[in-house]
Every structure is written in structure tokens, then in C-alpha cells.
A and B are shown apart, each in its own frame.
Chain A
């Protein structure tokens, strides 16, 4: 029995439990703001950090992220769903790479490439009200294949 348990444990460590979740990471913690995220792409995790967190979010934030592309990203779109106290507050979709307007230098890179991006993201400035928010972020290409998916939690105190 003990052997069986050990085998199971080793299996879990080696293969990753099927259906198991990726670890939760801290994207930033400063100025009364904490941002945690967890990859919701069953195939892989990714890395993200935000340079300057604060309740009064500055425009044009710099971020860093690293991931392996599982799809070509000639076209790339971002869907954001913001939930506060179980109620969906905001939904929007934003094109990042388009055939006639690649906004970022990584647009057009191919499946299998490892991407590391450090740079500004062109966000507007806004103040975050005190509370806890759930944000679902999805990056996908023109075939609606997932490029990255994140469940983020924002704690503003």
C-alpha cells in the first residue's frame, strides 16, 4: 500500500496531476495593491510581472512577461472580464496584433517560439477603488485558439 502511495506521489510530481491547477504567482505588490494570477491554460504556465503597482495606476505601465507560444500570433486579441463581488462589471476585447496593424514588436511570431517581452502596454491611468476583484484575461488568435489565459485577483486596500 505504501509503495502504491509513493508511486502515486512520484507520478503526480513527474507528470503533473491531470486537471490539476498551476501555482498562483504574484505579479506585483506595492502601493496598497496586490495582483495575483494563475494560468488557466491547461497546457502551460507563464510568467508576468508588473513594474509599478499602486492604487492610482499610472498610464503606460511597464510589464514583463515570458511564455512559449502554442500558436502563431499574426493576429492576437485580448479579452478582459472584470468581476467584483460576483458581479460582472466590465467586459472588453482589444486587438493587440492585426494583419494591417501589428501594435507590438512581437506580433507575427510563430508557434513554438519563446517570448520575453519587457515594455509599456499603453494603458490609461485610473484609480482603483478599495476591494477585491477577479479578472479573467484571455489571449487568443484568429482561430480562437488560446495563446494564454489568466485568472487574476486584485486586492486593493
Chain B
């Protein structure tokens, strides 16, 4: 027995010494000096002494604080944000945050709380956000409410709460978010919801609660900003309970792993009895879909039918004349006309992305949508033989068009002439075969942003970008240039209003000195992931104040005459280049150290040569490129020899001269 005890003692002693060894040097990461610190996953059992008193934002999750009390954080009186996620907190004692007047956000997610003292949250002038997710709460009485007058959001997800009734004394007038995700709420009574009456503009989340019944007209009292009943099996219960309510945004979607009953016209009848502006019905299935299905959608402005197994929408839907936004992502349409766009003449936003089968862009399917401003047809393997003039007929108000991730689209000249007000056009990852000398974007006078990344463009076509007087942002990432060269006359000469240009991953070896001469408004230039050497920097000589990204290129050295070009820019990234750290590059190395404040990615800006300095950060390199002691010695010996030689030569010369007199 004694032996067992001594063994146990030894083990305790040994483990104690281990703890010391393990936690000998925990280092918090400084994200912003004297302000933001990250001490996550360090196994700390107290606030480290190394943290400055002025710390405002402290990420302290995944540490070990079984008890917190008024001494725990007392030194850090300027705290505004404190994250104590999974710190194994059991007890929050009296006056824990007494001295923290500025405290705004407290996160206790995932702590096995046993008790919160009545005065635990006293101190902060205005505590706004409180996270008590998965803390084992069974009743709302557990939360001491009297210093929570300014509380704006209260997160109570993943607990064992069965009633949302807040204690009478709990202040709700400032509440904007009340989150009850994944609890055990089965019933909502009128009285429960009446408690929330002082809160105007409230967002309520009941996602993942199995609600079996709601007292009729329970939600009659207040206007809600949003209510979420996600994952509910039977929507008729919800519609019945929401009679005479006014909700701006109602989320009733289902999930892959939850059961959903079919939406019949009878179920949707409930919508006639309430006022909703925006509704989401993702992943439900409509039974006998006819124009009558939507007869109670008259007041709805935004409708989201993502992944609702639709193959078409019925024609002749009445009462959707005022729908503004329609989301039909991840459905099963064969061609665009099957959405029967004529049903929605007021539509300003239409999203049909990620269609499950290949979508055909037939002519004029959207021509009744004269008010449409935003159209997203991305990720559809979209196919269109001659794009896009006829297909986009009638869309004269369109401002934003997304055709990215389509099958090859062969663009005609003036392909978008039916959408003259276009401001943003995204064609990323869509191959664009076109005839030489063609100008598909001509006459887009308002186009500001054009994304042509990975479009396999014919970059030798100098007329590709003609007719774009307002273009500010151009992305040409991943397009190849002939011979890896951007010549003096190139496609960028047509777009002199450019401010942002992306030419990364274009296989560029060389940029002509005058290639960018027309671009005088540039602010942001991304040339990363090419094979550029220092010579190409000359092309930037006329530009000042740039954000310049030259990361992952082939720059070894930068000669002294090019350094002023770098000096005149705002921020430069030279990381991942095979930089030389020898005396032949000393001007650049000196400049680098003097301008560290404008260099981005300096952690990854490292030497490649000589071998002795490989992998060393440029900022840490110290070179002495004056004459060394050995050099001085040899120089002295050399000059001595030279003097002796000269002496003898003169002596010989004089002797020879005198002999011949």
C-alpha cells in the first residue's frame, strides 16, 4: 500500500515537473502591437505576464481556466473583446469583469458552465455581444440579466433549452439577434414571444429545433427582421403559427440530412395570412407545381428556390408581378426559357448558377426582364453557339453579368450590345474563342470591371479591348502571351483608364519598356507568378504610388538604376524570387532594409544565392562590401613591389642614360 502511495506521489511529482517543462515558453502571437493578441491552443492556466496592460482584443480559446474571477483578467482593463472558447470554465465568480468598462464582446462557447454569479457581468458599460453556445444551459434563468441593458446579440445555440421565455427582468430593448439554434424547443406560446416585444428589428433563429406546435398568432405582436425555422419537417405548423405576423426575411430551408415533407399548394396557403418580404425554401420539393402554387406569394419581394428539384416554372403565375429577386440555383432546367421569365416583369436580380445539368442559353428567354440589373449564370456549363447579343435581348438595364465557368462561348463582335449599361462582366474560366481583330466588348461605355482570367484569350489581338472608356479593373490572370513577351504595342493600349491590372500566371518572361506607357492612372499591378527578371521593372518607370506584386518571379538582382522605380511605389511584394544576397546586389539589399515598411511578404522574401545564405530572410542579411583586411594586405604588398620595381627601373634608366653621355 505504502509502495503504491509513494509511486503515486512520484508520478504526481514527475507530472508536475513535466507541466513546467511543457508550458515553459508559451508565446502569444502579436497581431497588432499593444492591441490584439492571439493565445489560442497554448494550454495556459493564467494570463501570461508578457501581455501588455493595454491589450484590447484577446483570443484566449482552447486554454485552461476552470474558475474565472475578478483577479483573472484584472490587469487588462482595456479589453473590448475576450474570446474564452473551450477553456474548460466551470465557474464565473462575482465581479469577474468589474474593472473592464470597455468590454463589448464575451465568448464562452463550449465551456461546461456550472454557475454564473449574479454580479459576474457587472462592470462593462455596454456589453453588446454574449456567446453562451454549448455551455450546458437548460434554462434562461441561468443568465444573470441585470447588467445586460445594451445587449445586442445573445447566442444560445446547442444547449438544452426547451422554452424561449426570458425572465421578466431580462432587458430586451436593445436585442437584435437572439439565436436558439439546435436546442430542444418544441413549442412556442404567445406568452413566450410577447416577452420579446420591446425588441424591434429582432432576428430570431430556431434552426435545428424540432418545433411541433406554435400557438396561433404567437408572432402577431412584433415586426421581426428575420426568423429562421431551418430544417423543420412540417412547414404547415410554421405557417399556422405565423398567422398575422410581419417578418422581413423568413428562412424555411431544408438540408441534405433532414426530412422534408412536400410543399403542396395547401401548405403554402398559410403564406396568404402573413406578411413576408423575403423567403427561402431551399431543398424542399413542390408537389403538383402549377401556377396556383404561388398564389400566396403576392407580397414577396425575394424568393430563394435553391435546389428545389425544379425542371421548369409554370407559365401564367399571377401575382408575382412585383418580385424583385429570384434565386433558382442548383436546379434541373434544360434551357433558360423554362423559367418562364415573363412571370416576373419587375425582377432586378436573377441568379441561376450551378444548374445540375448543362444549361442551354436560348434566344430571348429573358427579354421580358427589362428591369433586370444583375444576372448570374455561372457554373452552368452554359452553351451558346453565337454569344450573346440575341440571348441577352431586352436586358437594357443590366449592370452586372456573370458568365464564369461556362463551356466555350464564341463571342461575336459587339457581343453585349443589348446590355449597354453593363458595369461588371465576369467571364473567368470560360474559354472565349474568337476571330482575329474582333472587339467583342465594344460600346460598353459604362463597363468598369472585366474579369477575363483563364479565358485562353488570343492576347495578340490588339483590338480585343477596344471601346471600353470607363474600364478601371481588368483581370487577365492565366492567359498566355506570345513568346512570353508583352510587347510595346499590345492590347492594353486601348484601355487607358485602367487602375487595377492583374497579369499574374501569364507565363511572362519580359515586358517591353513602353508596354504600359498609356496606363497613367494605375494603382494596383499584379505581375506575380511569371518569369520576369529585373529588366521588366523599367516598364513601370512612369508609374508612382503603385501596389506592385512581383512575387514568384525570376528576379535575381536589381541594378542601382532601377531602384528609384521601386522607391516611388507604395507597397511592393518581392517574395518567392531567387534573390541574390552577394555584394553584386548590395544597392538593392541596402534599399530593401531601408524600406521595410513598404514591403509586403517580407517573411517569404529570402535569399537564393550564395549557398551559405540560402533561406535567410533578406531583412536579416548583413553584408560588408568594403575592402577586407586580406585585401588591404595584398594591396600593400602589391604597391610595395611596384615601388621597388619603379625604383630599380629609374636606377637602371639613369645608369643607362649616364653611360651614353
Query: Which chain A residues have a beta carbon within 8 Å of chain B's beta carbons?
Result: 6-7, 10-11, 14-15, 43, 68, 70, 100-105, 107-114, 117, 119-122
Please, what's the 1-or-0 string for B506-517, where 1 marks a CB less than 8 Å from any CB in chain A? Answer: 000000000000
Q: Among the interface residues A11, A43, A110, A120, which one has the most CB atoms of the partner chain B within 10 A?
A: A110
Tell me the bound Cα distance from A108 to B182 in angstroms.
11
Is B109 within 8 A of A120, CB to CB? no
Known: A105-B231, A120-B256. A112 touches B110 (CB 8 A): yes
B18 within 8 A of A: yes
Tell me the bound Cα distance from A119 to B131 in angstroms.
28
Stretch at the interface among B9-17, B160-168, B440-448: B9-17
Residues of A within 8 Å of B282, CB to CB, are 101-102
Is B14 within 8 A of A110, CB to CB? no
* Neighbour of B109 across the interface among A7, A101, A113, CB < 8 A: A113
Known: A10-B15, A11-B21, A11-B22. A117 touches B257 (CB 8 A): yes
Nearest A residue to B109 via CB reads: A112
Known: A100-B306, A101-B282, A108-B181. A113 touches B158 (CB 8 A): yes
Residues of A within 8 Å of B15, CB to CB, are 10, 14
Is B256 within 8 A of A111, CB to CB? no
Is A105 within 8 A of B258, CB to CB? yes
Please, what's the 1-or-0 string for B271-306, where 1 marks a CB less than 8 Å from any CB in chain A? Answer: 000000000001100000000000000000000101
Residues facing A in B15-56 (CB within 8 A) are: 15, 17-19, 21-22, 41
Known: A7-B14, A7-B17, A119-B256. A101 touches B329 (CB 8 A): yes
Is B85 within 8 A of A101, CB to CB? no
Residues of B within 8 Å of A6, CB to CB, are 14
Residues of A within 8 Å of B330, CB to CB, are 101
Is A122 within 8 A of B158, CB to CB? no
12 A-B pairs whose Cβ atoms sit less than 8 Å apart in the complex: A10-B11, A10-B18, A100-B329, A101-B307, A102-B230, A105-B208, A105-B258, A110-B131, A112-B110, A119-B256, A121-B256, A122-B256
Residues facing A in B168-202 (CB within 8 A) are: 181-182
Is B134 within 8 A of A112, CB to CB? yes
Residues of A within 8 Å of B18, CB to CB, are 7, 10-11, 14-15
Is B86 within 8 A of A120, CB to CB? no
Residues of B within 8 Å of A70, CB to CB, are 62
Tell me the bound Cα distance from A109 to B258 in angstroms.
16
| Interface pairs A-B: 5 shortest CB-CB | A119-B257, A112-B110, A112-B85, A112-B109, A11-B18
B255 within 8 A of A: yes
B203 within 8 A of A: no
Tell me the bound Cα distance from A11 to B155 in angstroms.
39
Is A109 within 8 A of B181, CB to CB? yes
Residues of A within 8 Å of B19, CB to CB, are 14
Residues of A within 8 Å of B86, CB to CB, are 68, 112
Distance from B374 Cβ to chain A, minimum over Cβ atoms (Å): 13
Known: A10-B15, A113-B158. A120 touches B329 (CB 8 A): no
Is A113 within 8 A of B14, CB to CB? no
Q: Among the interface residues B14, B107, B208, which one has the most CB atoms of the partner chain A within 10 A?
A: B14
Residues of B within 8 Å of A103, CB to CB, are 255-256, 283
Distance from B14 Cβ to chain A, minimum over Cβ atoms (Å): 5
Distance from A107 Cβ to chain B, minimum over Cβ atoms (Å): 8
Nearest A residue to B134 via CB reads: A113
Tell me the bound Cα distance from A114 to B88 in angstroms.
13
Residues of B within 8 Å of A101, CB to CB, are 282, 306-307, 329-330
Known: A6-B14, A15-B18, A112-B61. A100 touches B327 (CB 8 A): yes
Tell me the bound Cα distance from A112 to B62 in angstroms.
8
Is A110 within 8 A of B133, CB to CB? yes
Is B257 within 8 A of A109, CB to CB? no
B380 within 8 A of A: no
Residues facing A in B321-361 (CB within 8 A) are: 327, 329-330
Tell me the bound Cα distance from A11 to B21 in angstroms.
9
Distance from A119 Cβ to chain B, minimum over Cβ atoms (Å): 3
Distance from B437 Cβ to chain A, minimum over Cβ atoms (Å): 38
Nearest A residue to B254 via CB reads: A105
Residues of A within 8 Å of B255, CB to CB, are 102-105, 107
Residues of A within 8 Å of B182, CB to CB, are 109
B207 within 8 A of A: yes
Nearest B residue to A118 via CB reads: B257
Distance from B90 Cβ to chain A, minimum over Cβ atoms (Å): 16
Tell me the bound Cα distance from A60 to B266 in angstroms.
31
Tell me the bound Cα distance from A104 to B253 in angstroms.
11
Is B85 within 8 A of A111, CB to CB? yes
Residues of B within 8 Å of A14, CB to CB, are 15, 18-19, 22
Nearest A residue to B155 via CB reads: A110
B157 within 8 A of A: yes
Please, what's the 1-or-0 string for B626-643, where 1 marks a CB less than 8 Å from any CB in chain A? Answer: 000000000000000000
Please, what's the 1-or-0 string for B134-157, where 1 marks a CB less than 8 Å from any CB in chain A? Answer: 100000000000000000000101
Apart from the given pairs A10-B14, A105-B231, A119-B257, 18 other A-B contacts in the complex at a CB distance below 8 Å: A6-B14, A14-B18, A14-B22, A43-B41, A100-B306, A101-B282, A102-B253, A103-B256, A104-B255, A105-B207, A105-B230, A109-B157, A110-B155, A111-B109, A112-B107, A113-B157, A114-B134, A114-B158
Tell me the bound Cα distance from A76 to B133 in angstroms.
20
Residues of A within 8 Å of B21, CB to CB, are 11
Distance from A46 Cβ to chain B, minimum over Cβ atoms (Å): 15
Is A110 within 8 A of B256, CB to CB? no
Q: Among the interface residues A112, A117, A119, which one has the most CB atoms of the partner chain B within 10 A?
A: A112
Tell me the bound Cα distance from A111 to B155 in angstroms.
13
Q: Among the interface residues B41, B85, B131, B257, which one has the most CB atoms of the partner chain A within 10 A?
A: B257
Distance from A97 Cβ to chain B, minimum over Cβ atoms (Å): 10
Tell me the bound Cα distance from A80 to B109 in angstroms.
30
Residues of A within 8 Å of B110, CB to CB, are 68, 112-114
Tell me the bound Cα distance from A117 to B17 in angstroms.
39
Tell me the bound Cα distance from A30 to B307 in angstroms.
34
Tell me the bound Cα distance from A112 to B133 in angstroms.
9
Residues of A within 8 Å of B230, CB to CB, are 102, 105
Residues of A within 8 Å of B133, CB to CB, are 110, 112-113
Known: A110-B109, A111-B61. A104 touches B257 (CB 8 A): yes
Tell me the bound Cα distance from A10 to B16 in angstroms.
10
Distance from A148 Cβ to chain B, minimum over Cβ atoms (Å): 15
